[in-house]
Amino acid sequence: MRAAKVDKSQGQYINGLRTIGCSVCVLSMLGEGRPDLLVGFVDGRNIPVNILIEIKEIKGRLTPAQIAWHGEWRGFVLICREAQQAMNIIRTMQVISYAEVVSDMSLVVDYREASISNLPFRG
């Protein structure tokens, strides 16, 4: 097993997510296609939520190991290109609910990649 590669922007994700009240556990060292971060927070219905986040650079692609892992995983994995994208999605879940956001967003762009353009922002 080779050492897992850590994305350059991982620190931005960790700091940004903690700033908006999330707990963050780094998983990137596990390798073998597993996501980079485990993020915990409370959604808009006061329900504790855990989300896995895969960090990808703007033009980055999932590796064959990541494609296989994501294909077998039965839970939700958010694939993000920018830290701000992850923060926007989680902020929305903190205001409304995890279930409502996940049911309304398009997850088929790039192996379940989240698109913030479809999120039900409410003000």
Can you list the positions of beta strands (E) in the chain?
23-26, 37-42, 48-55, 77-80
Please check whether residue 119 is in contact with residue 103, taking contact to mean a CB–CB distance below 8 angstroms.
no
In this prediction the pTM is 0.79
Residue 81 lies in a domain: yes
Do the domain assignments include residue 122? no
Residue 1 inside a domain? The answer is no
CATH code assigned at 98: 3.40.1350.10
Q: CB under 8 Å to 117, separation ≥6 — which residues?
A: none
* Mean pLDDT over each residue of the chain, to the nearest integer: 81
- Indicate whether 113 belongs to any domain: no
* Domain boundaries, position 68: 10-106
Burial 76-91 (b: 16+ CB within 10 A, else e): ebbbbbbbebbbbbbe
Q: Contact, 94 vs 21, CB < 8 A?
A: yes
Total structural domains in the chain? 1
| Position 49 in a domain | yes
> Residue 9 CB: number of other CB atoms within 10 A?
18
- For residue 16, pLDDT beyond 90: yes
Residue 70 domain flag: yes
- Asked whether residue 27 is assigned to any structural domain, the reply reads yes
- Residue 2 included in any domain: no
d(C-alpha 103, C-alpha 121), whole Å = 13
Residue type, 46: N
Instruction: Determine the average pLDDT of the residues in 80-84.
Output: 91
